Amino acid sequence: MKVTVTFGDTSVVVPCKAGWTVRDLIDQATRRYRRILEQVNQVNTSCVVCALRQCD
């Protein structure tokens, strides 16, 4: 299964592995988002998860 996490206008797809917690998914999504920011030279942008919501 894969989970799509949205950071503003940017979406990140994260594979959901067996035994992972929500915290693990958040950490993985944040890492992937930071990599995207690094590619567009926005390294100093901080990322803080403040809310989770389920979309149908």
For the entire predicted model, the pTM comes to 0.67
Burial zone of 34 (CB within 10 Å; 0-12 exposed, 13-18 middle, 19+ buried): middle
Number of domains comprising the chain: 1
- Ordered DSSP codes for 2-56: EEEEEETTEEEEEE--TT--HHHHHHHHHHHHHHHHHHTT-TT------------
Q: Which residue range(s) make up the domain with 41? A: 1-56
pLDDT of 44 higher than 80: no
For residue range 6-36, what is the model confidence (pLDDT) as tens digits? 888 888 899 888 998 888 988 899 889 888 8
